[in-house]
Amino acid sequence: MASKSEIPSNNEMDGYVVEVKVLKSTIKDCESYIKTLNKKIVIDEAKARGLLMVLNLRSSKWLEAIEPHEVYLGSEMGPHGVFLFLV
């Protein structure tokens, strides 16, 4: 359960809703933007865990290529398919 400090106040929630509405109306291809953002989040999370490469198994394309040491760490389902993590 989230601590009290992590739960946004009503004012913060109102601001968030307004921000999302503005984003949806100003970004022409909102779905494409969200996919790009999700991909960036996957890469950032992988880097934070010390992983250097992320492979999208659905498209067989590297999302980010930084010379791997070829050590397989596992896979996980993400918003764009199954991702294979290597270091």
21, 32, 43 from 50: Cα distances, Å:
35, 27, 11
Q: Is 30 a domain residue?
A: yes
What domain range is 23 assigned to? 9-86
**Is the residue at 24 inside a domain?**
yes
**Residue 62, domain member (yes or no):** yes
Nearest CA among 81, 74, 22, 26 for reference residue 56: 81
| Structural domain total, the chain | 1
Size (the chain), residues:
87
- Give 12-66 pLDDT, tens digit per residue: 555 554 454 554 455 566 666 666 666 666 667 766 766 655 555 555 555 554 4
Whether 1 maps to a domain, the answer reads: no
Let me know if residue 29 belongs to a domain.
yes
pTM of the predicted structure, to 2 decimals: 0.29
